[in-house]
Chains A and B, each alone.
Chain A
Amino acid sequence: MGNVTNGMTEEKIWKKVKQREKIMSRSTLLSNLQMSEYQNELQKEHQKALYWETKASGEEKIRFTNLRNEIEIQQMLLVKPKQEAYKAIANRLAPKQTVVKNTIMAFIFGGIICTIGQIINNLFLQGGLAVKEAATSTSVIMISLSAFLTGLGYYDELGKIAGAGTIVPITGFANSIVSSAMEFKREGYIYGVGARIFTVAGPVIVYGTSVSIVIGLIYYFIK
């Protein structure tokens, strides 16, 4: 105890760093004993380099900063293989996602929502609206329906079963905005609703618009 880091010099530490670099690049998983030994070594060296750095100035300081950074990189690399090995064990034991079931449910519910949209669209067309107007009106109805169901607290129940089936259509987009508005109303209309209504939908709007501009330009030039 006390002055455990005495007797260390800059060259000695550099030599150690290089030695470890070789060994760490060779073997993937170190034994527990070797690892804690390395961790201890690295900690001692790190403290020392840091301490020297605070006492130095100019070029000398830069040298110590580089040494410290090198040690920090090794400290990080050292635990990586152990973390990976652990993740493999944990992943093996994790319950599997029900991908097939989820896909089928998404297909069915997404299909139902689109069918409802199609029926409404056809009714508008029958009623005498032009194709473009009918499409817009259908979107309005679907969005209103989704917002209404969100407000009543049903859309999240539906989403639990339907997954992507309720997220992907326009109704999912409406749900993301209305649910945000409801959530943040408690923080007031300015910092709550106003500031955070697009928390979920924001990225879709930003990147949707950006991509549409790019696609539009491509279309313009190759037309």
Chain B
Amino acid sequence: MAQKKLGKQTFKFSSNPIISSEAAVVGPMEGKGPLGEKYDMVLDNTFAGENTWEKAEQKMMQYSMELALEKKGFLPSDLDIYLAGDLLNQIISANFTARFLNTPFLGLYGACSTLIEGLCVAGILLDGGFVDRIGVSASSHHNTAERQYRYPTEQGTQRPMTAQWTVTGSGSFVVENSGSGVILTHATIGKINDMGISNANDMGSAMAPAAFDTIKAHLQDTGRKPDDYDLIVTGDLGLLGSNVLKEMMRREKISVDNITDCGTLVYSSNQDSHSGGSGCGCSAIVLSSHFMGKLLAGEYKKIFFVGTGALLSPITSFQGESIPSIAHGIVLEYMGGRQ
């Protein structure tokens, strides 16, 4: 019998895996957004001094991890394992960053849920007593994602109002088995949900059922109510997806008062992002800058953070397949200020 499992999908950590450091590196557009002041580093341009956007994205991921390490005075060699992922084919940003860091590495792919997938796995590895210190990163870049998933970046297409803007940014976290700050208490592993949405420009609607499913499973497994959390945060449902999620919850008579979404926080309404932000970087930078700050300041005590991923592939979408979606949740709890 599994000792640390609650219900069907939730793990309860008996030790306290703790986020001891985090950092976010973002592109210029995100820097001008409402959270601009909170990021550790804002790039002057989307190339970050490189000649390709792919290299720029890799640099962002590497820098965010290095900054998170530097804040605690660690080196990459102090990490027992590195977990990372991004949106590009063969998760190249993560692979090249891991080459640079030269630590044992597990690559992750959960589309935009990658960061939370990473934190879930980190919690499991720490709670299982396999490691002492883990690095977790996730990144996305508007231009690398756009050219892989949709159109050439300079093509004059009109983006539909349902479309979301892929965030240029990377967030990294150092998770340890002791210390003080923000701890991970529960991880809820999501199931793939597919409601038949096949429009690559409407990922919010595709992901909302997955987020709903994971939130519902989490509440059932833990016996908690939404009000037990200061906030339930979703990764990148955007304006439309967030509204769909709230509608689904209302229909099942679940309270929606404390639901918010990183995709709606990352840009201001005059930044022309349409339905909000998306991408691995979206939840990564908003969590590491905005929500970690609020938790560490004691403003929030307990948050349920749900990373949402649309597992879109251009090949299967041209072949007429719909978009499978997934959502993983992690409970973050404030345990006293950092030393």
From A1, A50, A191, B78 is in contact (CB under 8 Å) with A1
The answer to whether A187 touches B41 (Cβ under 8 A) is: no
The answer to whether B73 touches A4 (Cβ under 8 A) is: yes
Residues of A within 8 A of B63 (CB): 50
Interface residue range, chain B: 20 to 34
Per-residue interface assignment for chain B, residues 80 to 118, with 1 indicating a CB less than 8 Å from any chain A CB and 0 otherwise: 000000000000000000001010000000000000000
Which 5 A-B pairs give the minimum distances between C-beta atoms? Answer: A3-B73, A187-B318, A47-B70, A191-B318, A51-B70
The answer to whether A40 touches B318 (Cβ under 8 A) is: no
Q: How far is the CB of A176 from chain B (nearest CB, A)?
A: 21
Tally of contacts, chain A with chain B, CB under 8 A:
51
The answer to whether B41 touches A44 (Cβ under 8 A) is: no
Residues of A within 8 A of B102 (CB): 39
Residue B315 interfacial (CB < 8 Å): yes
Q: How far is the CB of A166 from chain B (nearest CB, A)?
A: 29
Per-residue interface assignment for chain B, residues 186 to 223, with 1 indicating a CB less than 8 Å from any chain A CB and 0 otherwise: 00000000000000000000000000000000000000
Residue A69 interfacial (CB < 8 Å): yes
Known: A47-B70, A48-B70, A51-B70. A192 touches B75 (CB 8 A): no
Residues of B within 8 A of A44 (CB): 75
The answer to whether A192 touches B318 (Cβ under 8 A) is: yes
From B41, B73, B75, B319, A43 is in contact (CB under 8 Å) with B75
Per-residue interface assignment for chain A, residues 184 to 221, with 1 indicating a CB less than 8 Å from any chain B CB and 0 otherwise: 00111001100000000000000000000000000000
The answer to whether B67 touches A50 (Cβ under 8 A) is: yes
The answer to whether A187 touches B319 (Cβ under 8 A) is: yes
Residues of B within 8 A of A51 (CB): 67, 70-71
Residues of A within 8 A of B319 (CB): 186-188
17 A-B pairs with CB atoms under 8 Å apart are A2-B73, A2-B74, A4-B73, A5-B70, A6-B73, A46-B66, A48-B70, A50-B41, A50-B66, A51-B67, A51-B70, A51-B71, A53-B41, A54-B40, A54-B41, A187-B315, A188-B319
Residue B77 interfacial (CB < 8 Å): yes
Excluding A2-B72, A43-B76, A47-B69, 5 further A-B contacts by CB distance (< 8 Å) are A2-B73, A4-B73, A48-B70, A50-B66, A191-B318
From A5, A39, A69, B73 is in contact (CB under 8 Å) with A5
Q: How far is the CB of A75 from chain B (nearest CB, A)?
A: 8
A174 to B67, CA, bound (A): 54
A50 to B75, CA, bound (A): 13
Interface residue range, chain A: 20 to 34
The answer to whether A54 touches B66 (Cβ under 8 A) is: no
Per-residue interface assignment for chain A, residues 1 to 21, with 1 indicating a CB less than 8 Å from any chain B CB and 0 otherwise: 111111000000000000000
Q: How far is the CB of A86 from chain B (nearest CB, A)?
A: 15
Interface residues of A, Cβ cutoff 8 Å to B: 1-6, 39-40, 43-44, 46-48, 50-51, 53-54, 65, 69, 75, 186-188, 191-192
Residues of B within 8 A of A46 (CB): 66
A4 to B75, CA, bound (A): 8
Q: Which of A1, A39, A188 has the most chain B CB atoms inside 10 A of its CB?
A: A1
Per-residue interface assignment for chain B, residues 226 to 257, with 1 indicating a CB less than 8 Å from any chain A CB and 0 otherwise: 00000000000000000000000000000000
Q: How far is the CB of B43 from chain A (nearest CB, A)?
A: 11
Per-residue interface assignment for chain B, residues 309 to 333, with 1 indicating a CB less than 8 Å from any chain A CB and 0 otherwise: 0000001001110000000000000
A39 to B100, CA, bound (A): 10
From B67, B70, B72, B75, A40 is in contact (CB under 8 Å) with B75
Residues of B within 8 A of A192 (CB): 318
Residues of A within 8 A of B41 (CB): 50, 53-54
Closest to B76 in A: A43
Q: Which of A40, A48, A51 has the most chain B CB atoms inside 10 A of its CB?
A: A51
Closest to B69 in A: A47
The answer to whether A69 touches B66 (Cβ under 8 A) is: no
Q: How far is the CB of A105 from chain B (nearest CB, A)?
A: 35
A5 to B100, CA, bound (A): 19
Residues of A within 8 A of B76 (CB): 43
Residues of A within 8 A of B128 (CB): none
Q: How far is the CB of B281 from chain A (nearest CB, A)?
A: 17
Residues of A within 8 A of B71 (CB): 51
Residue B49 interfacial (CB < 8 Å): yes
A53 to B211, CA, bound (A): 38
A173 to B7, CA, bound (A): 61
A191 to B76, CA, bound (A): 43
A188 to B315, CA, bound (A): 10
Per-residue interface assignment for chain B, residues 42 to 78, with 1 indicating a CB less than 8 Å from any chain A CB and 0 otherwise: 0000000100000000000001001101111111111
